[in-house]
Amino acid sequence: MTVKIVTDSTSDIPASLAEKMGITVVPVHVFFGKESYLDGVNITPSIFYQKLESSSYHPTTSQPALGDFISAYNNLMTSGADGILSVHISSKISGAFSSAQRAAEICGREGNIKVLDSGFNSIGLGLVAIAAAKIAQAGESLQAVVEGARKAIAQIDMYGIFDTLKYVVRGGRISKTKATVASIIGVKPMLKFSDGAILQGGLARTYNKGIEKLVEFVKNKTGIISLAIAHSAVPEDAKRLKKVLGRYFSEEEIIITELGPALGAHGGPGVLLVAVQSQ
For the stretch 53-86, pLDDT in tens is: 999 999 999 999 999 999 999 999 999 999 999 9
Strand 224-231 to strand 272-278: parallel, antiparallel, or no bridges (unpaired)? antiparallel
Pairing of strands 188-194, 156-161: antiparallel
Nearest to 270, CA basis, from 89, 49, 55:
49
pLDDT at position 68 is: 97
Angle 226-21-247 from CA coordinates, rounded to 5°? 20
* Closest listed residue to residue 107, CA positions, set 61, 58, 70, 160: 70
Where is pLDDT greater, at 213 or 166? 213
Threshold 0.85, pTM exceeds: yes
Contact call for residues 33 and 53 (beta carbons, < 8 A): no
For 216-231, the pLDDT digits (tens) are 999 999 999 999 999 9
Q: Using DSSP, state whether 111 is helix, strand or coil.
A: coil
More confident residue, 110 or 97: 97
Domains for the chain: give ranges and CATH numbers: 3-154 (3.40.50.10170), 156-278 (3.30.1180.10)
**Each residue of 113-166: pLDDT tens digit?**
999 999 999 999 999 999 999 999 999 999 999 999 999 999 999 999 999 877
pLDDT for the residue numbered 197: 86
